[in-house]
Structures are given as structure tokens and as C-alpha cells.
Amino acid sequence: METFLLLNRWLHIAAGFTGFFVAPVALIVQKGGPAHRLWGKVFFYAMLVAGTTAIISASIKGLTFLLLTGIFSLYLAQFGYRSLQHKRMGQGQQPSLYDWASTVTGLLIFAGTLAYGLWSRPFNLAMVVFGAIGLMTTVRQLRGFRRSGPWPAGQWLRNHISGFVGSYIAAVSAFSATSLRFIPFPLNFLWPTLVLVPLLIWMQRRYVPARGISPQVITSAQES
């Protein structure tokens, strides 16, 4: 078991550092272009490995706090990646069984995360924040799936940005909470949210303005 946990830990570290450095590259390169798609996929699979190994380690060691953080990061990564398949939602395209199942599962998990944070002693502000964000994300997604008409212009891209940036925030938060011990709790867990959420909002407003999608990503979105 010790050997397995050691290998799991090194795999987690390798995947986490890969995602940490790859995410800024995907944000800097031209959106929708070949480089963006390549580094976006690398980031997704890095988060898939990092989240899975974190869940395994936290489950074995009984670390509920880090277990919920790993689930949060993993869910948002798949949410951002899956959103690329929702470009024609409501225009003949309907949510699949996977869409419904994953979103309902996320809803239940994040409701539990929120409850865990509210009833923990001492009060766990970090879990309340992450649980509330996850709950709002899944509720909004379920409302979108139930929508009879087409989605608002560019909604799939808003979801894509929210999912990937949110997953990155969760991963950095977990690293900060476990490694940056000189920052007091819960600030060590919440500072990535405070720093990166404004970036997320800025990106959504830049690439998905009120009337649709930014011209620089329209062509690539139609081709992919």
C-alpha cells in the first residue's frame, strides 16, 4: 500500500505541475486555434489524472477536505471539456444521458460539500464557497438542459471558460492549502479564487460579448 500511495503521489505531482504550467499557455495562445486546442487537451487530461489521484489518496487517508476539492476540480474539468459538445444545444441537439447523469451527480456532491462546510466545527468557509459555486454551476446547467428553445448565444463557450478556469482555480487552491503553510487558513485556500475569478469574468466578457461570440473564435468553433 505504501508503494502504491507513493506512486500515486508522484503521478499526482507530475500531472498537477503539468496542468499548472500548461493552463497559462492555453490562455495566451489564439483562442480556437490549433495550439489552443492542443494545450487545452493537455490541460484537461492533466487535471483528469491529478483529480483522480487526489481522490484516491484522500479516500485512503480519510481526508474529506481534499477529497471534496479533488472532486470539485475533476467535475469542472469535465464540465469545461464537455461544453465543447454543446454548441448546438436547443437547435436540434438534446442533452445526452451522460450530460444528465454527470450534472445530477455533481448537484448531489456539491450540495453535500456545502452542507459539510456549513456544519463543520469549526466552520469551513472554503468548503462553503466551493460547494456554493459547484451548486450554482450544476443548477444553471440543469436549467439549460430543460430549456425548450436554443441556448443564449455563446453559452457553451461561457461554460467552457468557467469549467476550465474553475478547475485550475481548484487545483491551485489545493496546492496552496497543502504546501503554502505560511498563509493562514482559509486564505491559503481562497486566494486563488479571489485572484482568478476576475480573470474568468474578463475572459467571458471579451470572448463572449452580449451579442454572441468574439469573431476570433467563431471560425474555429464552426470547424471543430
pLDDT in tens, 152-209: 888 899 999 999 999 999 889 888 988 888 999 889 888 999 999 999 999 888 888 6
Q: Which domain holds residue 50?
A: 2-223
Q: Let me know: does 150 contact 214? Beta carbons within 8 Å.
A: no
User: E strands within the chain?
Assistant: none
- In this predicted structure, the answer to whether residue 220 has a pLDDT above a threshold of 80 is no
Q: Measure the CA–CA gap between 11 and 184, rounded to whole angstroms.
A: 27
What pLDDT is stored for residue 126 in this prediction?
Answer: 85
What pLDDT is stored for residue 218 in this prediction?
Answer: 44
Pick from 92, 80, 212: nearest CA to 152: 212
Count of structural domains within the chain? 1
Pick from 100, 125, 102: nearest CA to 114: 125
Q: Let me know: does 26 contact 44? Beta carbons within 8 Å.
A: no
pLDDT in tens, 115-128: 999 998 888 888 89
In terms of phi and psi (left: phi > 0; alpha: psi -120 to 50; beta: otherwise), the region of 32 is: left
Q: Let me know: does 162 contact 204? Beta carbons within 8 Å.
A: yes
pLDDT in tens, 33-88: 899 999 999 999 999 999 999 999 999 988 888 888 889 899 999 999 999 999 88
Pick from 222, 221, 104: nearest CA to 160: 221
pTM of the model: 0.85
What pLDDT is stored for residue 217 in this prediction?
Answer: 53
